[in-house]
Structure formats: structure tokens, C-alpha cells
């Protein structure tokens, strides 16, 4: 050790948030009061009253879980400077960095190479770093882009470190037309212009694709995306003595065959883990999606502060997760997918229990933990190692070294890749092993990230949510209706796959080491899809009441009349306060409210349908890649307004919210023109039912505009006809 400085590498800060807790209990009291009112009034009402009671019971239980999640608000503050004072640079542990991409069309290579360049340039000893890029699309364009980016990296990395550039993804750094100021203005200005010209030339090369399938690219000739052998190429090898001292850079496209399951991203991560275990075997591993570039040059040091904090800490903390933050987000979050408030309040709240969920990107893992190690330090015998990790002797040896905490690099040199690396990347290697079941990234869900995190927490490990002042990673978020809905549907489907499997967190609490409140936290997120059922039913109740001229809310002459009113006002005041304290606008709150209702009735509902089809054996769930766009902060005014508009396609996901909108428009029209039947008990639908119907129409405002829009901004006629048919059927059943 270079310095025996006893100052902690991180601090744990607890926040009481007393006012929020008071409001949370007021909301809970109002929810319970509404349930009691419904129970006492059961004898005077019918089926709709029962549906309302069951929905509100769900909302109450979900709110109890939400209170538990937010109760222990904890924040961690890291001190990278102290780490550098305590540990000499040559004693810092090695880190393997994984970047995953799956489709060169949906995930353009220019995005991937910017992420790679930002990782190669982080402030950490380059001889301690290795970057592995997994290309599940087996695209020659991705490989070519990586080769060209490696040439640019020889200029870019020294430039960043010489001038202490803070934003090390070149597309972001050069996005601003103005030249940044510097102490050495003349020299810096010249180098800045040269560097920008080089980057623009790199862009042109990738766009023009001036290569043929010869020499290094011959491996890509006559291959199919889902039917090809393993391709492993060392793009940069620091052992070659580059004067610029760049980290290793390795391209991997694992073998795929039609009759062999490849397990989507989880399978790719396991191949990266095995191949890197043979090549560098670093004790820590970072994984990022191809669009999540390193925005903070000290990100690795921040993570090491957590993972090297103390001897006791090393026996508890499995991974350090950084929040997903997005660059050039549209103003006021019109699609409700930036999740800033969720990360702040839920993330820090769950942090106070057993630790944050693994989010699939921006996370530093201990290799030991990924290899199945438990906090009690259980050891594996030789035969068990072979059964667990496969029949590669080289990999078994490197895994044994990693489990013992030895950080020496394996004997397999990067520049002499032998059959062992290709063996562990083959599609048949995992048969008869514990990969995807007990070690590595877990299989069985399209949300492999949270399932993997759950398996780690089940073993008794904890995790830490690391939020430095300068965001560690920035990524792009999908825009428009179809892209957002596709992402949300995949999440809902994958989460339900875990909930309805042997990996259900309830089993983890009963039979493993998952804490009870951590189990509740997992149930909160795993039931996202199931929320669509009570919320969609509840959304239809006001329209049902107006059409049938009955009431589902208390009558105005009853004291209970003020319960739903107070609940509505208090809940929205509570939510608005969280958005304001997060630095967001009331408009952002409203956009998230709208998208919350739309997502629930569309993507999440279809996520439930997908699980039903899977359980019935009709179809399997499919991992759908979300389209990535490298937006520019220069897009202002009209262009941003266009990007903020909700778009549609012919996806059936848009049918339910369109049907709910038409249903409420029909109900309001029947009330306005006096088309309601006579009330059975003399008291028909009232102001609360009408107010609820109006609120839902406002929440579905993008769909109301879509009814009259054209092109991608208009709801397709086929969707409108299907929705109208469902509305007519519902109204007929209501009147019958």
C-alpha cells in the first residue's frame, strides 16, 4: 500500500424524508378508509362494486410495498482521491469491460464505438484494463468500425488525458461547435481541430463502408446472422508496446446455430465472461450496453471505492450499480421513460435494504460472485469445478484462480488465441454445466439482468447504488410510441417470467438469504405487468357507471364522498413534490402520469398476454432489441417538438388504450346528451364518475390527437376499427 490513510473510501448517508413519510401514511390511511367504506356498502351494490374493491385492494397492497421500498433512503458518497492516496496505481486491481451489441441496424456501430472510445480513455492504469465487445449480430460493419476506432483511439486517448477532457465520447465532446477553453490555448486549439477532423473522417469511413470481405474480414463472408462459427479478433493488444498505452480491445462474435438456444444477452455475457477469463481474468468486470458511454472519467475509481472499501465490505458487496441517465433527453420527458424520479427515490430507498437491483448496464461486478461464490466463501472441488464451468481445463484453472482471489493473468496470451477461447465460445460448451443456472448471467427471462441480480441477492450478497455528482454513464432513450412500447413490453414480459418461475423472490426469502423487505422490493418490480389488469379494469369503471347510470364512488351526500377527492389531491401533491425536488417540472410529472396510464394499458397488458401464451405452450417470448438513436443536443425548436410527438404503428398494443379512450368518449357523450337509462336506486352516476372519465381522456390525450392525425402521428384505421368493435361490445354488455 502506498499510504495507510484511514479515511473511508466512501460514506453512507441516511436521509429521513419525514414529510414524504407523513404523506405516504396519509395516502395509506385514505386507501384503507376507501376499502372499509366499500366493505360496509357491499350489500347495496353489485358486480362493479366488487371489481372496484378488488382493484383498490391491489392498489393498497402495492402502496404498502412502495412505502417499504422508500422507507430507508440511503446515499453513498465515494472519494476517488482517497483511493489514489491509499493504493499505488500499479496495485489497483484489473478490470475487464464488456460492451454488448446485437444488431448493427437498430444499434448503429457509430454509437458502439463511441462507448468503446469512452471506456478506453477512462482515468485508470491502461495496463489494468481490457475491453471486450460482443457483437451478437456478427456484423462486418461493426468489426470494421471497431478496427477504425482503434486507430483513432491512439490519438483520442492521449488527447483526453493530456487536456483532462471530461466528456470522453467524441460525438458528445465535438457536438458543441465552440472550442473549449484551455491553459495552452494555441496548442490546444490546433490539436482540438485536428482531433475533430480525425473524428469526422472516422464517421465518413463508417458511413461509406470502404472495405471488402478479404483478409481480416474474410471471416464474415458467406455467413448468416444466426448461423456462423465463433469469431474472436484482438483489435488492440497492449503487449505490442503501443507508445500511447491503450488497453486491450477484443472483438467477439460467439458461435450461433439454428438448433441451439443462444439465450440472447445473457448468453453473450456468459461468453464474454469465459473468454475474458482465459485472456485477462480480471477480478472485476464492468458491463455496459452499446449506447451507454462513460461520462465520468473517474467512473472506475468510484466503483473501486465501493468494492475495495474495507475488508468487511469485500465480504458483503457483490456489485456497484450506477444509475441509467440519458443524454439529450426530450424536454419534460414526453414519453415517461427517463425514470429520474424512480432512480432517485426507489433506487436510494431499496439501497437501504439489501441493495439496488442489477440494471443490466453501468454495473461493476466481482468475478467471484458471477462465478457463484457466496459470502460464506464456500470452495469447490475439482470435479465440481468441471461440472460448474465446463470441460475446458484452461477455463477451470482460471475460474479456480478467480475464486481464490488471485489476479494473475492466465498463460493464454491475447496475440496467440488458441482453441480454448473458441471452445468456450461455442454454442455447445454450456451443455451439462451450470452456466446460466448457478454461475454467470442467469437464463430463463428476457430481463436477464434483474434475474441475475436476484440470484446474487439470494446468496446473501448486498449491492450498492453509486451516484457520483458527475453522472457515470449516459445513454440514449427510445422516442416515439412504438419504440417505447416495445421496450416496456419486453420488461413486463421478462419480469413476469421470473415471478412465475422457481426464481420467484418469495422462494428466495423462504429457502435462501433474501431479506423480507428486499423480497417486497423485487415483488414491486416483478408485478409491473400484473398492474395492467387492475388498472385497466379500474379505468373502465367510470365509463361503465356513466353508461349504466350507476355509481362506483361515494354519493355526494355521504361523508365518504371526500375520501377519493382527498386521495386524488394528496397523491398528486406527493408525486409533484418528488418531481420538483428532483429538478423536474410539473409538465414532466404530467407527461409521466399520462405515459404511466398508456404503458399500463398497452405494453404491460401485452406483456401479460405474452406470458399467458408462453405458459399455455402456444409461443415463446422473444428478446426484442430497442432501436438506438444518437441524437444531438442541437436539435431545438420545431425538431424537438416533432420528436416529442407520440407516434403509432399497426401494433395491436395500441388497441386497448384506443378502446378505453373511445369508451370514455362514448360515456361522456351519453351523459352530455342525456342518453343514460334511469337510475335503479334513484342515485345514478355523479360528478366523481364524470371527473374520473375526464381524467382518463386527458391521460389518453396523445391517442385523442392520434384519432385525427395522419401518417405516423395518426392511429391506423385498422386499430380504430378494432377498438370501436371492442367499445361497442362493452357498451352492449353494459346495457344488457
Looking at the annotation, which residues are catalytic? 136, 449
Residues 6+ apart with CB under 8 A from 431: none
With 0-12 / 13-18 / 19 or more C-beta atoms within 10 angstroms meaning exposed / middle / buried, residue 133 is buried
Burial status of residue 309 (CB atoms within 10 A of its CB: 0-12, 13-18, 19 or more): buried
Rounded CA separation 515/39 (Å)? 33
User: What's the angle, vertex CA 109, arms to CA 105 and CA 114, rounded to 5?
Assistant: 145
CA 593 to chain centre: 19
Give the C-alpha separation, 354 to 519, whole Å. Answer: 9
CB 701 within 8 A of CB 590: no
- Which one, of 62, 76, 65, lies nearest residue 348 by Cα? 76
Ramachandran sector of residue 638 (left: φ over 0; alpha: ψ -120 to 50; beta: rest): alpha
Residue 529 C-alpha cell reads as: 405487468
Confirm if 115 and 291 have CB atoms less than 8 A apart: yes
Task: Tell me which H or E stretch contains 488.
Answer: helix 481-499
Quickly list H helices, 602-713.
605-615, 638-643, 655-672, 687-699, 701-707
Q: How far apart are CA 672 and CA 677, in angstroms?
A: 13
- The full length of the chain comes to 736
User: What distance in Å separates the CA atoms of residue 205 and residue 185, rounded to the nearest whole number?
Assistant: 30
Ordered DSSP codes for 175-202 = TSSSPPP-SSHHHHHHHHHHHHHHHHHH
Full DSSP string of 206-268? HHH----S-GGGGGGTT-BTTBB--EEEEEE-GGG--TT-PPEEEEEE--B-TTS---HHHHH
Amino acid at each position: 500500500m502506498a499510504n495507510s490513510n484511514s479515511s473511508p473510501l466512501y460514506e453512507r448517508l441516511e436521509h429521513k424524508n419525514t414529510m414524504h413519510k407523513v404523506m405516504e401514511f396519509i395516502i395509506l390511511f385514505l386507501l384503507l378508509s376507501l376499502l372499509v367504506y366499500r366493505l360496509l356498502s357491499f350489500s347495496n351494490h353489485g358486480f362493479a362494486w366488487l371489481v372496484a374493491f378488488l382493484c383498490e385492494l391491489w392498489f393498497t397492497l402495492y402502496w404498502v410495498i412502495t412505502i417499504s421500498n422508500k422507507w430507508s433512503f440511503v446515499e453513498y458518497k465515494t472519494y476517488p482521491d482517497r483511493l489514489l492516496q491509499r493504493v499505488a496505481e500499479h496495485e489497483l486491481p484489473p478490470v475487464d469491460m464488456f460492451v454488448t451489441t446485437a444488431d448493427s441496424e437498430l444499434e448503429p456501430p457509430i454509437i458502439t464505438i463511441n462507448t468503446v472510445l469512452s471506456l478506453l480513455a477512462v482515468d485508470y492504469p491502461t495496463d489494468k484494463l481490457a475491453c471486450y465487445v460482443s457483437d451478437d449480430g456478427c456484423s462486418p460493419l461493426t468489426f470494421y468500425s471497431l478496427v477504425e476506432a482503434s486507430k483513432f483511439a491512439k490519438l483520442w486517448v492521449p488527447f483526453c488525458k493530456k487536456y483532462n477532457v471530461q466528456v470522453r465520447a467524441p460525438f458528445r465532446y465535438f457536438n458543441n461547435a465552440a472550442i473549449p477553453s484551455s491553459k495552452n490555448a494555441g496548442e490546444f486549439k490546433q490539436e482540438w481541430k485536428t482531433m475533430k477532423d480525425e473524428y469526422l473522417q472516422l464517421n465518413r469511413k463508417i458511413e461509406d463502408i470502404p472495405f471488402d470481405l478479404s483478409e481480416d474480414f474474410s471471416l464474415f463472408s458467406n455467413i448468416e446472422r444466426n448461423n456462423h462459427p465463433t469469431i474472436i479478433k484482438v483489435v488492440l493488444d497492449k503487449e505490442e508496446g503501443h507508445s500511447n498505452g491503450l488497453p486491450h480491445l477484443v472483438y467477439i462474435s460467439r458461435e450461433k446455430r439454428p438448433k441451439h438456444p443462444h439465450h440472447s444477452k445473457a448468453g453473450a455475457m456468459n461468453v464474454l465472461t469465459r473468454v475474458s477469463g482465459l485472456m485477462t481474468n480480471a477480478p472485476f468486470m464492468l458491463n455496459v450496453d452499446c449506447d451507454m458511454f462513460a461520462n465520468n472519467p473517474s467512473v472506475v475509481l468510484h466503483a473501486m471505492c465501493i468494492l475495495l472499501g474495507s475488508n468487511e465490505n469485500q465480504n458483503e458487496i457483490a456489485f456497484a450499480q450506477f444509475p441509467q441517465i440519458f443524454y439529450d433527453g426530450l424536454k419534460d420527458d414526453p414519453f415517461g421513460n427517463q425514470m429520474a424520479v424512480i432512480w432517485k427515490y426507489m433506487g436510494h430507498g431499496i439501497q437501504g435494504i439489501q441493495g439496488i437491483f442489477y440494471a443490466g448496464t453501468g454495473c461493476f461486478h466481482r468475478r467471484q460472485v458471477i462465478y457463484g461464490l457466496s459470502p460464506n466463501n464456500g470452495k469447490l472441488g475439482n470435479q465440481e469445478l468441471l461440472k460448474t464451468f465446463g470441460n475446458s481445463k484452461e477455463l477451470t484453472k482460471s475460474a479456480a484462480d478467480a475464486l481464490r482471489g488471485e489476479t494473475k493473468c492466465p498463460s493464454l496470451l491475447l496475440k496467440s488465441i488458441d482453441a480454448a477461447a473458441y471452445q468456450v465460445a461455442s454454442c455447445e460448451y454450456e451443455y451439462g454445466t451450470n452456466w446460466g443456472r448457478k454461475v454467470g448471467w442467469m437464463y430463463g427471462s428476457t430481463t436477464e439482468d434483474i434475474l441475475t441480480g436476484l440470484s446474487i441477492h439470494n446468496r446473501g450478497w448486498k449491492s450498492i447504488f453509486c451516484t457520483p455528482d458527475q453522472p457515470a454513464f449516459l445513454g440514449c432513450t427510445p422516442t416515439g410510441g412504438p419504440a417505447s412500447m416495445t421496450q416496456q413490453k419486453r420488461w413486463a414480459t421478462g419480469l413476469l417470467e421470473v415471478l412465475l418461475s422457481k426464481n420467484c423472490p418469495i422462494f428466495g426469502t423462504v429457502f435462501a438469504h433474501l431479506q423480507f423487505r428486499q423480497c417486497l422490493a423485487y415483488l414491486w418490480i416483478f408485478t409491473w405487468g400484473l398492474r395492467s389488469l387492475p388498472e385497466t379494469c379500474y379505468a373502465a369503471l367510470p365509463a361503465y357507471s356513466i353508461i349504466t347510470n350507476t355509481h362506483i364512488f361515494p354519493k355526494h351526500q355521504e361523508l365518504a364522498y371526500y375520501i377519493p377527492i382527498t386521495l386524488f389531491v394528496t397523491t398528486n401533491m406527493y408525486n409533484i413534490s418528488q418531481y420538483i425536488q428532483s429538478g423536474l417540472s410539473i409538465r414532466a410529472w404530467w407527461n409521466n402520469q399520462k405515459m404511466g396510464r398508456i404503458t399500463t394499458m398497452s405494453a404491460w397488458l401485452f406483456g401479460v398476454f405474452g406470458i399467458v401464451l408462453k405458459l399455455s405452450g402456444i409461443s415463446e417470448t422473444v428478446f426484442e432489441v430497442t432501436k438506438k438513436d444518437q441524437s444531438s443536443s442541437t436539435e431545438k425548436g420545431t425538431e424537438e417538438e416533432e420528436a416529442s410527438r407520440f407516434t403509432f404503428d399497426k401494433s395491436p398494443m395500441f388497441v386497448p388504450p384506443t378502446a378505453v379512450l373511445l369508451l370514455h368518449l362514448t360515456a361522456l357523450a351519453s351523459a352530455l346528451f342525456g342518453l343514460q337509462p334511469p337510475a335503479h336506486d334513484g342515485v345514478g352516476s355523479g360528478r366523481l364518475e364524470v371527473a374520473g372519465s375526464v381524467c382518463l381522456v386527458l391521460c389518453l390525450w396523445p391517442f385523442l390527437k392520434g384519432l385525427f392525425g395522419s401518417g405516423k402521428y395518426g392511429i391506423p384505421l385498422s386499430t380504430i376499427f378494432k377498438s370501436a368493435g371492442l367499445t361497442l361490445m362493452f357498451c352492449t354488455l353494459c346495457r344488457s
